[in-house]
Amino acid sequence: MELNLNKIKEAQQNIKGVVRRTPLFFTDTFSDKCGCKIYLKCENKQKTGAFKLRGAYNKLVCLTEEEKSKGVIASSAGNHAQGVAYAATAFGVKSTIVMPVTAPQAKVQATRGYGADVVQAGQVYDECYAKAVEIQKETGATFLHPFNDIDVMAGQGTIGLEILEDLPQADVVLVPIGGGGLISGIATALKSIKPEIRVIGVQPEIIASTKASLEKGEIVTLPGAKSLADGISVSTPGDECFKYIKQYVDEVVTVTENEIAFSMFNLMERGKLVTEGAGATPLAALLAGKVTGLSGKNVVALVSGGNVDIATAAKIIERELVLQSRRIRFTIELADKVGQLGTLISDISSLGGNVVTARQDSNWNEKGLEYANVNFEVTAESPEHGKHIIEELISKGYFVTTK
């Protein structure tokens, strides 16, 4: 079986009416930051919160009745899990999904909610894949691979069709790479219709298995590593996928964990889009200047999914506010008298600071019981505003120690 444009067009018909046609929109904010015309393809708005439903549903359509009757089993870091669970339930097929123990609970709970039995095993995808293979041998269920499957790749390739239907003048498309099923399908679709278009893959620097494989000219397996982009933390690219990546993908770049977090924060604050780590990697590459030759070009960044654990999102927001000096931390020594703390908080508020926490330090003050150290976290509008708050408090006579 071969992956080609006809196969992808068939998949588009197979999933029509079930899978959403997700929005593609121009963003002034990120275009100005990057010096090119940036469009976001928002698969985080897809049913189940990610692109994986496309490939999973197309695969279910292509199964024989005998294969469906045995039930299906899959391994996934989370998004393929939800796609398979949703599709299998739609067809009345029993599904079992093996997920890493490190998978975000939002993804685990959603997978169960779509009707699958969930087994958690291993730290990264490759370990849970081994467990799924073991269960498949015991039960005889039909295995649905998350990426190394032509029908799955064809389903993901429908994103490429939609991009060119909505933006025929697209010059460059950036796509996250894990095992390679997503970019294989999209690149095949794009290059078959518009050979001159550039297709660029993006991987986490700490587990860039496809980039390493391309550099060596053969498939390479890297040690398992847990990236913030958990959905694409794959040690070994699929051999089927790799054939099409070599043929159609122009370049693979990598992004750091800090760059992924910064992109997620920017997509939330400026783009009003909640994304998971994998979905933020294309914009991360653009914001970090990892791709050259984009000036004046129409560039599409695929936001592949939005299934981020809410606690992780909260940590990223907190971290970025601190790194950008928009949440400042400092200690003020106060005379331990009635009304002193209230006056201080009023002074901070009058300067435009929003007090997030104020906690008295339990450590002994060198000046004795008449004094106390109070630790503050204050949100400012900008680094300059934060600096102004500190300077003004010092000018008012407060003894301030910054952290």
CATH number for 128: 3.40.50.1100
Any domain includes 149: no
The CA distance from 131 to 41, in Å, is 34
Q: Give the pLDDT band of residue 366 (cuts 50, 70, 90).
A: low
pLDDT score for 78 = 78
Any domain includes 185: yes
Any domain includes 95: yes
Residues 54 and 41 sit within 8 Å (Cβ to Cβ) = no
- pLDDT at residue 368 greater than cutoff 80: no
pLDDT score for 289 = 97
Residues 120 and 160 in one domain: no
Residues 40 and 57 in one domain: no
Residues 305-322 pLDDT 10s: 999 988 899 999 989 988
pLDDT score for 186 = 98
Q: Which of 116, 143, 170 is the last residue of a domain?
A: 143
pLDDT score for 309 = 86
**Known catalytic membership, residue 52:** yes
Give the orientation angle of helix 239-248 with respect to helix 209-216, to 10 degrees: 70
Mean pLDDT of 382-393: 92
Mean pLDDT of 128-133: 90
Reduced to 3 states (helix: H, G, I; strand: E, B; else coil), residue 278 is: helix
Residues 184 and 291 in one domain: yes
Residues 122 and 233 in one domain: no
How do strand 142-143 and strand 198-204 relate by DSSP bridges?
unpaired
pLDDT score for 363 = 66
Residues 254-289 pLDDT 10s: 999 999 999 999 999 999 999 999 999 999 999 999
- Whole-angstrom CA distances from 63 to 14, 59, 368 are 12, 6, 77
Residues 177-211 pLDDT 10s: 999 999 999 999 999 999 999 999 999 999 999 99
Residues 340 and 307 in one domain: no
Q: Which of 143, 174, 200 is the last residue of a domain?
A: 143
pLDDT score for 367 = 63
Q: Which of 88, 109, 143 is the last residue of a domain?
A: 143
Residues 213 and 239 in one domain: yes
Give φ, ψ of 141 to 5 degrees: -65, 160
Residues 245 and 362 in one domain: no
Q: Which one, of 157, 167, 166, lies nearest residue 192 by Cα? A: 157
Any domain includes 333: yes
Residues 32 and 64 in one domain: no
**Known catalytic membership, residue 235:** no
Any domain includes 345: yes
Choose the catalytic residue: 41, 52, 107, 211. 52
Any domain includes 148: no
Residues 262 and 353 in one domain: no
Residues 305 and 364 in one domain: no
Spell out the SS3 assignment of 293-361. Answer: CCCCCEEEEEECECCCCHHHHHHHHHHHHHHCCCEEEEEEEEECCCCHHHHHHHHHHHCCCEEEEEEEC
Lowest mean pLDDT among 138-142, 153-157, 360-364, 381-385: 360-364
Reduced to 3 states (helix: H, G, I; strand: E, B; else coil), residue 19 is: coil
pLDDT score for 58 = 97
Reduced to 3 states (helix: H, G, I; strand: E, B; else coil), residue 289 is: coil
- Whole-angstrom CA distances from 256 to 76, 177, 212, 226, 230 are 23, 14, 16, 12, 13
Domain span holding position 376: 325-402
